[in-house]
Amino acid sequence: MVTLAHRFCKLVFFFALFFLSVRYVHTYPSPMTLEQQQILIEVSEKLGVTDYELFYIGTMIAVDFIVAIVLYVTIMKIWQGYRLKQRSTLEH
């Protein structure tokens, strides 16, 4: 039961990081310039995507997901190092 609770907490933590990533990793509130919009249209056309707005949304979700993964792994490694250091200090 404890393992299930730990997994659930980790899952909730990951979704919280993903939510923060969606909230803060994007071009908003400043809108894209015309030059950025033109680059987006050109890239989507080269990749064969007709709906460039959907392409932008999908790309931003992928970027947000990658950022959340990197943050999650980094925080978990820092936490694991902290716990190991804490255990070794308590044993001595």
CA 74 to chain centre: 12
pTM across the whole model: 0.82
Alpha-helical (H) ranges within 1-92 are 2-24, 34-46, 52-91
pLDDT of 2:
84
pLDDT of 17:
97
pLDDT of 69:
97
Over its length of 92 residues, how does the chain's per-residue pLDDT go in tens digits? 889 999 999 999 999 999 999 999 876 667 888 998 999 999 999 999 999 999 999 999 999 999 999 999 999 999 999 999 988 887 76
pLDDT of 28:
66
Residue ranges per structural domain of the chain: 2-91
